[in-house]
C-alpha cells in the first residue's frame, strides 16, 4: 500500500478558531478524519502532520522523498499556509526530492491580499487546489490516487 503525506504549515493548528469566516469551523482533527476517510477510500496509507516550523515540514518532505525513491509514496498534499508565499526552502525540498506534490489552500488565495497571490510551491507542484474549504483535502487525496498514480496514457 502506497502512502500519501498530508502536510500542514503554520497556524493550521488553529483551524476552527482562527478567522472562521475565511477558514470555516472545522478543526485540524476534523481535517485529519476527512483525510483518513479519503485515504482509506483510495487504498492509501496516510501520514498527516502539522507544524508551525519550516524545518519540520522540510524534514517530512525529505522523508516523503525517501519513500518516493523506494516506490512507496503515492504523493504529497501540502498546505504550506503562509510559507507558500515566502519559503524558497520548501520549494527546494520538493525539487530536490522530486516529489509529486499537490499544493492546497482552504481559502481562495487569489481573492485575498495581493501578497497571497504568489506561490513558491506552485512552480514545482503537479497541481494547485484552492478555495474549496476543507473538502479540498479529500479532493486532493482523490487526485493523488486517480491522477498522480494513474499509468501514463
What pLDDT, on the 0 to 100 scale, is given for residue 20? Answer: 72
pLDDT digits (tens, 9 = 90+) for 30-40: 999 999 999 99
Is residue 23 flagged as an active site residue?
yes
Owner of C-alpha cell 469551523: 25
The pLDDT value given to residue 101: 97
pLDDT for res 54: 98
**Considering 23, 83, 120, 137, which one is annotated as catalytic?**
23
Rounded Cα gap, residues 98 and 119, in angstroms: 18
Q: Counting Cβ atoms within 10 Å, is residue 50 exposed (0-12), middle (13-18) or buried (19+)?
A: buried
Could you say which of 26, 83, 105, 120 is catalytic?
A: 105
* Section 48-76 average pLDDT: 97
Rounded to two decimals, what is the model's pTM? 0.93
pLDDT for residue 107: 84
Round to whole Å and give the CA distance between 149 and 20: 34
| 152 confidence band (pLDDT: 50, 70, 90) | low
Q: Evaluate if residue 147 carries a pLDDT over 90.
A: no
- Is 83 catalytic? The answer is no
At 148 the pLDDT is: 76
Per-residue pLDDT band for 74 (boundaries 50, 70, 90) equals: very high
pLDDT in tens, 106-140: 988 776 667 666 899 999 999 999 999 999 999 99
Amino acid at each position: 500500500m502506497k502512502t500519501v503525506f498530508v502536510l500542514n504549515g503554520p497556524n493550521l493548528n488553529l483551524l476552527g478558531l482562527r478567522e472562521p469566516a475565511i477558514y470555516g469551523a472545522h478543526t485540524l482533527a476534523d481535517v485529519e478524519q476527512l483525510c483518513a476517510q479519503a485515504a482509506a477510500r483510495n487504498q492509501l496509507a496516510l501520514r498527516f502532520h502539522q507544524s508551525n516550523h519550516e524545518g519540520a515540514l522540510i524534514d517530512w518532505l525529505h522523508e516523503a522523498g525517501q519513500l518516493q525513491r523506494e516506490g512507496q509514496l503515492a504523493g504529497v498534499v501540502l498546505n504550506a499556509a503562509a510559507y507558500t508565499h515566502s519559503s524558497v526552502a520548501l520549494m527546494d525540498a520538493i525539487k530536490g526530492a522530486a516529489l509529486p506534490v499537490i499544493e492546497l489552500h482552504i481559502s481562495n488565495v487569489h481573492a485575498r491580499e495581493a501578497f497571497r497571490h504568489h506561490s513558491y510551491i506552485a512552480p514545482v507542484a503537479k497541481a494547485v487546489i484552492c478555495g474549496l474549504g476543507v473538502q479540498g483535502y479529500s479532493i486532493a487525496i482523490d487526485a493523488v490516487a486517480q491522477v498522480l498514480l494513474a499509468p501514463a496514457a
